[in-house]
Structure 1
Amino acid sequence: MAVEVVMPKLGMAMKEGAVSLWNKAVGDSVEKGEPIASVNSEKIEIDVESPAEGTVLQIAVPEGEGVPPGTVICYIGNPGEKIGTQPISASVQNAGSESQAPANELNPSVNKVKTAGDRVKISPVAKKMAEAAVLDIEKIKGTGPGGRITKEDVQEAMKSQRALQAEHPKETRIDPQIVPAQETQAQQVQLSGIRKVIACRMHDSLQKTAQLTINMKVDVTDMIALQKQSAEAVQKNVNNNLSVTDFIARAVVLSLKKYQEMNSALIEDKIHLFKQVHLGLAVALEKGLVVPVIRHAEKCSLNDLSRSIKELAQKARQGQLSNEDMQGSTFTISNLGAYGVEHFTPVLNPPETGILGVGAVYDTPVFVGENLERRSILPLSLTFDHRVLDGAPAAAFLQTVKQYLEAPITMLI
């Protein structure tokens, strides 16, 4: 009997999942443990591996269709083997291939991957990157297992493409304004999975809340000095490394305990003031933004927060977050400092009242009394729901965060 491959359950709250991409087509051979499809449920997307060696006999769930967890999405076995009580003949296999033909005709690159005799092996992420960059995947040399094209291979091909365009600008660059409309082509990508969830939530956030953003600069010279001075002792005694984000998270938690109205949510015309601080930390992934949550952050020491931040960030990048890991936050921190961004306008994560945007630390001369000194400045941007609180208490909250960061020893007492 053929082996069933089912939609996995990605968290206790999952009600439906969808296949975002099939890596295999009907008739393709697969090895045990080889990724055969990518599936997603709201903010989680993972690869489904083949439970057995064999051939893809039938694809039961097409790309983009949502099904409950436990639903059979495909069958793997030997050619001609039975699926349930029905034998899979060559005509059925061909029908399965034909059912995918219309979608493949719309995207030639997909057609090549799924039906060519010498099928190109490419990871889902690399495939999407190659299609977005209009690269011919058959011309990309794969360095992964079995010649599989990886994300890094596509990035190298993109570099080569840019270099070629720089050498032959007249041959490769076309002004889109002089191209007839009927000759203009654009890739169409279905809004689904993580991207669709983010799009809906961000649109609802801006439509249903009264968002206002205030900015403040913080002198973190002493905080960075404390971080560096304590690095060796922290590593030796608790086997950890404290980051700037760890100190910011600690300052936010302590400030939220003083300003409970910022640690709140407006739900059905009632303001819910939370005693517990469930801190959300935005993590940027290739497929979109996820916000894992540190629950009961008010009970955590600086070191506890640091470990939780690192653990959740690692789980996010490995696609191991559950729905429960991303639910119930009462306040969120979004850090774009690693990208060189200073001030920006973070968007609320409903139904939360506030979100703190963290920019990049930069050095600048500052007068300290009569002396001009080199100081490290951290830009902060606080977006809050003006329906819940006014500008003055929001500014007082941000000022308290600033005070903790400028006197970092107070976060350790």
Structure 2
Amino acid sequence: MTVEVVMPKLGMAMKEGTVSIWNKGVGDPVRRGEPIASVSSEKIEIDVESPAEGTLLKITVPEGEGVPPGTVICYIGALGEEVAAGLTLEEVQKPEVENQSPANEKTEPFTPVKPADRVKISPVARKIAEAANLDIEKIHGTGPGGRITKEDVQEAIMNSHTPQAERKKETNETPVRPQEETQQIPVSGIRKVIAVRMFDSLQKTAQLTINMKADVTVLIALQTQTAETVQNRYDNKLTVTDFIARAVVLSLQRHGQMNSAYSEDKIHLFKHVHLGMAVALEKGLVVPVIRDAEQSTLIDLSRSIKTLAQKARQGQLSNEDMHGSTFTISNLGAYGVEHFTPVLNPPETGILGVGAVNDTPTYIGEKLERRSILPLSLTFDHRVLDGAPAAAFLQTVKQYLEEPITMLL
């Protein structure tokens, strides 16, 4: 019996899902639980597993096409089994025998035709390769399961040899400059959502960024001193990011105006702190949320940060995991960045940018010492609060980081 495979609902707010790539083609055998396609919503991409063992008889949603959840994307059944009539979605791969015959003629049995392309490649990478006339079968994929990524195609283009242009003959005429060819990369999925949200953020809010530096020498020493105890007792490792998150949560409780949102000419102050932690992925930035963070201990925060980051990298975040934040932290320290200007995550009032810790000669009184300095960049909505209260909030974060023992009491 034919089994329908439908577009899954990846969250309560999901209205449309897109087939990113088909791992199987019409006529391919599939096993129960085997990934047959990757689908994505605005911020999530997951593998769709086959619900039954059999043959992929029909694909009804091509790569790159968006459909509502519950829409049939393909059919699986026994080899040669006919698929029910009445389908309205265009097929990606049509077997030759599917051309309908007149009613009085005998219909040929179903014979699956192998598609020409079985290479696992993302839609964006495929378009770039086609524009550059590259043979994707000769490109080595570095993505999961050997999937070819955009970076793989770009590297292949750089390594390809193109004939040099013939030297122009010396003439009195002015040479005509040929139009430069460009690569056109369609913006979709996560990248499109980020583009729209960031543009709207800059257009619809009054953003101002202030910078400050915190001396985290004592904090790093405390982290080192407690590492063995934390590992043995909690099976965990505290990072500087964990301490920063704790400092931010405590500071937001003391400066409630920063834990707010501006909407419909009103400032909405939140009772609880729902902390967003930005995570960079290959396809873009996601911000999973730690809810009721003020109720979490330092160890609890550390575990939540690691768990959500792992889920983000494995594509297991739900829409609910990424909605409802009241303040966000974005850490670019791992990339060697110092101060930067983070962009607000609407409708939040503030976002803290964290840079890389650098050892710097610093005067402590009359004595020059080597200290670990952490750059902080706070972007806030000037419609909600002015520079002085924003600076007071950042000063409180700095105090917690410079006196880390206060975060444990």
- TM-score band by shorter chain is 0.7 to 0.9
**Are the counterparts in 2 of residues 3 and 76 from structure 1 also a CA contact under 8 Å?**
yes
2:273 is aligned to 277
Corresponding residue to 2:300 among 296, 304, 309: 304
Instruction: Kindly report which structure 2 residues correspond to 1:164-313, keeping only aligned pairs within 5 A, or say none.
Output: 180-181=178-179, 184-313=180-309
1:8 is aligned to 8
SS in 2 for 1:83: coil
State the Cα deviation string for residues 60-87 of structure 1 (Å, max 9, x = none): 2233433222221111234542223579
**Are the counterparts in 1 of residues 329 and 354 from structure 2 also a CA contact under 8 Å?**
yes
1:35 is aligned to 35
Deviation at 1:381, TM superposition (A): 0.5
- Are residues 1:149 and 2:146 paired? yes
CA distance change for structure 1 residues 11 and 157 in 2, over 3 Å: closer, same or farther? Answer: closer
- Are residues 1:63 and 2:63 paired? yes
> Going by fraction, where is helix more abundant, 1 or 2?
1
**Are the counterparts in 2 of residues 129 and 151 from structure 1 also a CA contact under 8 Å?**
no
Deviation at 1:157, TM superposition (A): 8.6
Distance 1:63 1:397 in 2: 47
2:104 is aligned to none
**Are the counterparts in 1 of residues 140 and 148 from structure 2 also a CA contact under 8 Å?**
no
Distance 1:155 1:267 in 2: 40
1:335 is aligned to 331
SS in 1 for 2:363: strand
Distance 2:193 2:230 in 1: 39
CA distance change for structure 1 residues 306 and 210 in 2, over 3 Å: closer, same or farther? Answer: same
Distance 2:352 2:163 in 1: 46
Instruction: Kindly report which structure 2 residues correspond to 1:52-201, keeping only aligned pairs within 5 A, or say none.
Output: 52-84=52-84, 93-94=95-96, 115-116=115-116, 119-122=117-120, 124=122, 127=125, 131=129, 136-140=135-139, 149-150=146-147, 180-181=178-179, 184-201=180-197
Instruction: Kindly report which structure 2 residues correspond to 1:384-395, keeping only aligned pairs within 5 A, or say none.
Output: 384-395=380-391
Distance 2:61 2:143 in 1: 28
1:22 is aligned to 22
Which deviates more, 196-205 or 28-37? 28-37
CA distance change for structure 1 residues 323 and 156 in 2, over 3 Å: closer, same or farther? Answer: closer
Paired AA for residue 392 in structure 1? A
Which deviates more, 325-334 or 131-140? 131-140
SS in 1 for 2:95: helix
CA distance change for structure 1 residues 159 and 84 in 2, over 3 Å: closer, same or farther? Answer: closer
5+ residue gaps, structure 1, are: 98-113
Distance 1:202 1:189 in 2: 19
1:100 is aligned to none
Deviation at 1:309, TM superposition (A): 0.4
Distance 1:143 1:201 in 2: 30
CA RMSD of aligned residues (A): 3.3
SS in 2 for 1:188: coil
